[in-house]
Amino acid sequence: MKKRTVKRLLSSALVAIMTASMLAGCGGEPASTGDGGAAESKAEESSRAPAESSEETPSDSGEAEAPAESGEEAQGAEALLLEPYEEPVEIHVVLQYRESEDPETPTDVTPETSTAVKLLSEELNINLVYDWIVNADQFSQKFGAEMAAGNIPDVVMLSPNDFEDLASQGGLIDLTEYYEKYTCPDLENIYNFDGNFINVGKKDGKLYGLPMGTDPAQSTSQMYYDMNQLKEVGITSADQLPKTIEEFEELCDTLMEKTGGPVLPACKNYFGAQLGDFTPFFHAYESWAGGWYDNNGTLEYAGINEKNKEVLSKLNEWYEKGYFKKDFAAYDIWAADSPVVNDIVAGKYAIVPGSWWVPNWPLNSNKVEHPEADWVVGPNLSLDGEQPDIMISRYPVNNFIAVGKDCTNPEAVFKMIYWSLQYTLKNSPPEVQNAMSDEEKTEWHSYVYTWLPYRIYSPTCLRQNFEVINQYAKDGKTEISVGDAPRNNEFWGSWASYLNYAENPDDGVAWGTYFSRLAENGGVDNMIKTVETADIIYDEVYVTTPSMISKQGELDKLRDNTYISIIMGETPVDGFDTFVEQWKAQGGDDIAREVNEWYQNK
């Protein structure tokens, strides 16, 4: 509960802005997914952050009627989902605690007294019991110990590794029949958005978990430039922004001369961190630190590709020139008080690589402090000025929602997710928000989605909202009815941010949410354009094999240490070959064999 008070303090002075509370998740949350060592820059994880981040609604838009009303007269599965238990049912959960991202969550609210716990009990007769609560960064340790002691919570959000491990030991309940009974479009949008995604949670035809994913496009990375700062080195229009690595290097050299450097943010999460990392440079060389791509029917691991030497030696060259802080590898971009983030906010960098949400945070903070800052998205870098091939995950699975073997009411998980969805949808529209009494507001702000063992994020919502809202904008609409809204619960937040930006174009925060999600040539727009224009190579592997469970961790560490060591010039670039040998010998070959076996039999 420690840090909540900081925000309390911060928020006390705050005028309530709906956007802030609703979208808070999107910018801030990635910060917490980087916990500890767990989120070492794995490419596979790269898409995780925004997924968890958004407290959203089910998607799949247009046609369906407004969910709020649909409850009462719902048919079939919907009716079942809303049916309360006759006798109270206890559902044991565990919590990797993070503070509420909503600054208006009352101080005295704890997970046990939050709105979800209260209403689940009142409306569905489900009593949520927190067996233990631990700060997010200690979760994996605590879970490891509890798992060793044979305790599995009733409903739990699992990493792919833990999911595989527990499922193979018979620790999870087969959800197949419940899934069939309780399936409905709203829920499908979350864990089966394309009609295939649910299969990721199946093993031998049995469904052991509901996959939580993101739009595969979210693993793209882009270049943000502050035109205001670049003015001083002679760049006055976006056309002059570098397209090739060579041009980019020239720009950096010029900046180096002017400022003395460093000119690029960098951190130990060198790849896939989504902010201040080297991902766009890897991409420029069509190189990837991880991922399994299909090479004539055989899966190969991108992290050991000979080609990576090129980008590593280039990065080493840049390191020697002083583009990055000399001890960049000591800093975690996701740590609190991260100096990297502080520097970005302070305006020390005119160039910031990052994901679509970067304007939402931390560039928005930068703009608040330096209103003159003028951030734009530049062209994706490449060697020849053309859009390079990109690699994206076939199915970016971040987590699985699973049900522990001792759970007496496995269907409760569906009821809970559905309830959260309905609750959020019902209360999100601006009219509803505006009409809330103080008491209802308190209740709304005491609903803290990070305290629940599941998420209700629809992977397609970003693109959908971008398209829908821009359409409405073109039509000049400033008011829409509930029926006109797509049914994903990020929608109302995005809509509000659109209105908010139209009203306060000079406000840094309003700019951040707008520019990241909705602006033409903004974060999401560029993300969509990138995946639509580029040739795509898929990272085919979305399962966890037995060798991955035991060896992936050490292998990733080996790779990260080697890469960083090469970038820092401690290891000559030829050390890469040694690394490849080691990687293969230490279990990489085993994993390759297993994923290929799986791939052939898929």
Partner 1 sequence: MAEKERKKKKKSLYKTRELHVMLLPAVIFTAVFAYFPMFGLIMAFQDFKPLLGFTKSKFVGFDQFAYIFTMPSFRQAFVNTFIIAFFKIILSILVPLILSLMLNEVIKSWFKRSVQTIVFIPYFFSWAILAGMLLEIFAYDGIVNNVLESFFHIEPIAFLVSNKYFRTIIIASDVWKGMGYNTVLLLAAITNVDAALYEAARVDGASRWKQVLHVTLPSILPMVAVLTVLGLGGILNAGFEQILVMYNPTVEKTVDILDTLVYRMGIAGHQYSAAAAMGLFKSAVSLVFVGISYWILYKKSDYRVF
Partner 2 sequence: MKVKRSVSFYVYQVFNTVVLALVALSCILPILHVFAMSLSSSNAAMAGRVGFVPVEFTFTAYEYLISKKDFFHSVGISALRVLVGTSFNMIIIAITAYPLSRPAKQFRARTAYMVYFAITMFIGGGLIPTYMVIKNLHLLDSFWVLILPSAMSIWNVIIMMNFIKGLPRAIEEAAFVDGANHWQTLIKVILPMSKPSLASLLLFSMIGHWNAWFDGMFYMNNPNNYPMATYLATQVINNNQTMTNMTPEQLALLSSLSEKTVRSAQMFIAIVPILVVYPFLQKFFVKGITVGSVKE
Query: Footprint of partner 1 on this chain (CB under 8 A)?
Result: 37-38, 40, 140-141, 144-145, 147-150, 152, 161-162, 165-166, 169-171, 268, 325-330, 405, 549-550, 553-554, 557-558, 560-561, 564-565, 568, 570, 582, 586
3-class state of residue 4 by DSSP:
helix
512 binds partner 2 (CB under 8 A): yes
- Residue 223 parent element (H or E): strand 222-226
106 binds partner 2 (CB under 8 A): no
327 binds, among partner 2, partner 1, none (CB under 5 to 8 A by kind): partner 1
568 binds, among partner 1, partner 2, none (CB under 5 to 8 A by kind): partner 1
| Sign of the CA dihedral running 33, 34, 39, 41 | positive
On whether the CB atoms of residues 103 and 21 are closer than 8 A, the answer is: yes
| Nearer residue to partner 2 within complex by CB, 36 or 322 | 36
Cα–Cα distance, 480 to 98 (Å, whole number): 34
The stretch among 141-149, 159-167, 387-395, 585-593 that binds partner 2 (CB under 8 A) is: 141-149
- Shortest reach from residue 196's CB to partner 2, in Å: 33
- Shortest reach from residue 244's CB to partner 2, in Å: 34
On whether the CB atoms of residues 347 and 366 are closer than 8 A, the answer is: yes
Contacting partner 2 (CB under 8 A), which of 69, 88, 129, 141?
141
| Nearer residue to partner 1 within complex by CB, 81 or 558 | 558
| Nearer residue to partner 1 within complex by CB, 121 or 168 | 168
132 binds, among partner 1, partner 2, none (CB under 5 to 8 A by kind): partner 2
| Sign of the CA dihedral running 89, 99, 441, 71 | negative
Cα–Cα distance, 562 to 579 (Å, whole number): 7
101 binds partner 2 (CB under 8 A): yes
| Nearer residue to partner 1 within complex by CB, 38 or 119 | 38
- Shortest reach from residue 478's CB to partner 2, in Å: 22
Per residue, what are the HEC states of 351-383?
Answer: EEEECCCCHHHHHHHHHHHCCCCCEEECCCCEC
Strand partners, 223: 353
326 binds, among partner 1, partner 2, none (CB under 5 to 8 A by kind): partner 1
On whether the CB atoms of residues 340 and 266 are closer than 8 A, the answer is: yes
- Shortest reach from residue 158's CB to partner 1, in Å: 11
In sequence order, the 6+-apart residues with CB closer than 8 A to the CB of 6 are none
Phi then psi for residue 426, to 5 deg, are: -65, -35
Strand partners, 595: none
The mark string for 2-31 relative to partner 2 (x by CB under 8 A, - otherwise) is xx-xxx-xxx-xxx-x-xx--xxx-xxx-x
Contacting partner 2 (CB under 8 A), which of 50, 201, 276, 362?
362
The stretch among 54-62, 218-226, 274-282, 358-366 that binds partner 2 (CB under 8 A) is: 358-366
Cα–Cα distance, 428 to 425 (Å, whole number): 5
> In the range 265-324, which residues lie near partner 2 by CB under 8 A?
none
- Residue that has been written with the tokens 């991955």 in this structure: 548
Strand partners, 376: 225
- Residue 71 parent element (H or E): helix 67-73
- Shortest reach from residue 500's CB to partner 2, in Å: 11
Question: Residue 344 is which amino acid?
Answer: I
- Shortest reach from residue 150's CB to partner 1, in Å: 5
500 binds partner 2 (CB under 8 A): no
336 binds partner 2 (CB under 8 A): yes
Per residue, what are the HEC states of 392-426?
Answer: EECCCEEEEEEEECCCCCCCHHHHHHHHHHHHHHH
Cα–Cα distance, 6 to 13 (Å, whole number): 12
In the 8-state DSSP scheme, what is residue 549?
A: I
Neighbours of 51 (CB within 10 A): 22
96 binds, among partner 2, partner 1, none (CB under 5 to 8 A by kind): none
Cα–Cα distance, 345 to 270 (Å, whole number): 19
405 binds, among partner 1, partner 2, none (CB under 5 to 8 A by kind): partner 1
Contacting partner 2 (CB under 8 A), which of 79, 129, 145, 502?
145
| Nearer residue to partner 2 within complex by CB, 131 or 177 | 131
**What's the distance, CA 435 to chain centroid?**
32
Question: Residue 515 is which amino acid?
Answer: F
Contacting partner 2 (CB under 8 A), which of 82, 368, 473, 480?
368
In the 8-state DSSP scheme, what is residue 456?
A: -
- Shortest reach from residue 445's CB to partner 2, in Å: 13
Distance from the first to the final alpha carbon of the chain? 45
91 binds partner 2 (CB under 8 A): no
Phi then psi for residue 452, to 5 deg, are: -105, 150
Cα–Cα distance, 428 to 490 (Å, whole number): 9
- Shortest reach from residue 290's CB to partner 1, in Å: 16
- Shortest reach from residue 424's CB to partner 2, in Å: 18
62 binds, among partner 1, partner 2, none (CB under 5 to 8 A by kind): none
Residues engaged in binding partner 2 (CB under 8 A)? 1-3, 5-7, 9-11, 13-15, 17, 19-20, 23-25, 27-29, 31-32, 34-36, 97-99, 101, 103, 131-138, 141-142, 144-145, 148-149, 151, 334-337, 341-342, 360-362, 364-365, 368-369, 508-509, 512-513
